[in-house]
Chain A
């Protein structure tokens, strides 16, 4: 795996992501400042990590989406390269037009910092290979604007094409309003691009990769990526 983590002004979960990628792959990812215009040669995974790029001013992710590095990220995506966006990274992907929909203010109108449970809706992708469809796992969430929104046609298309990656569920694995703390449309926590090479999600699997920090529920996502890249190499 040759991963690059993009650091925007205000990004703050880049080190969490670095730890998770290192733990799964044994390799340190490159840390790339937003002013760069090229990815390191041979980059096979680009990660847009969480944080508050540009302070969430204007609109979450809107300014970061215009950063110099994003042209290179888009070219990487166009070549079928892997892109993972978590939390603010998901917001940036949406603002950059890499994934559809929008992320609104949480329905509670409060910042939500707590563990949630997600159900794997699409197995067999580079991001979910280690899970069975229907498997559930825990991940911390920490966001003020994670309320996924799209028009009905887009939601129907995402569902129809199997592009919903993860949904918020309760402890029994059921899709319920109570499990959907931020109010996302159809409990959607994460989505995939049509070619399954890009994934954006709000919760933070990278913060649950060590038993010492409360568990390894998030580790399969990074192991899936490592495995997927090993297969294609």
Chain B
């Protein structure tokens, strides 16, 4: 009697297991047939952290445009993946099948290009260095600016805790690093040694190194850690609206960097997916007045001078701040692409940590490692061209949004 009941149980168990196996087989079929057919065109845009809201709007606009251009039956579906720029580039290299990448800095796309997945001349395939929008790095402080943070040199004060993401995984953090470096370099008597010390001091004040810009914003705004957040201009404005106007203030430093988030279609993947046409159209769409307006409304600076002029008021706060008088506000370093300084890179001295081990060694160590990585890496990328030039004092200074 009992045996009979048990065997019923076992029969059911066997059935359940068989069902599970069937599911597995089904999934295998699904996986193989995936991509072969496909009435709606699928695009995967692998992007960095603070562009979530931007591309939500851009994608809807482009899908409408695409349907309009290709008759009613053309369906386009754009999928998004967001994360720290460096991490996202790594994922594409490891096989994430992005049709387009819209990352925080050219360096990350160069990394993908170095595997052959993207043509090495990608930066010249689209207008204005393949940067449809630009941005700059600003400070976000708590309401009333209790620590009276005005400029970069306030960030190295002992009583200030700075939130910035990890430059090894986050593109925005690399721009932050370079902006701080550039500031130190332009101080009286500034040189590569003083800049390195300045950056080291700054990173000693960082209690949390998040992997991406968005994580850093949540750390600062939601978890209330730190006195100042160094972040993208657009991310700072987003934080103001998301968390209520009264909570935070934007402080624009006397000098910052012209950040050029770059875009490219991934040749290897679009060839495989047959999405080359759609991918290129999508990226070119970013340069149209419609998309430039969307970018401006999200506080990305349009790279099209006309669009920038249309939205000048939105970015005026930066130029009209009190510090503007001393010339450099809203101005930036732009790396001259043509010049390289490999020899000076190699000879750049790499400091050992033996002089003063810092208590918050985690952050310092990260920064040191990054500096070493910049100074010592085999260089072919934009970013690594930038720093040796910085060390040699070779930055070109150009106003943000002057076009070109």
Q: Note whether A and B form a binding pair.
A: no
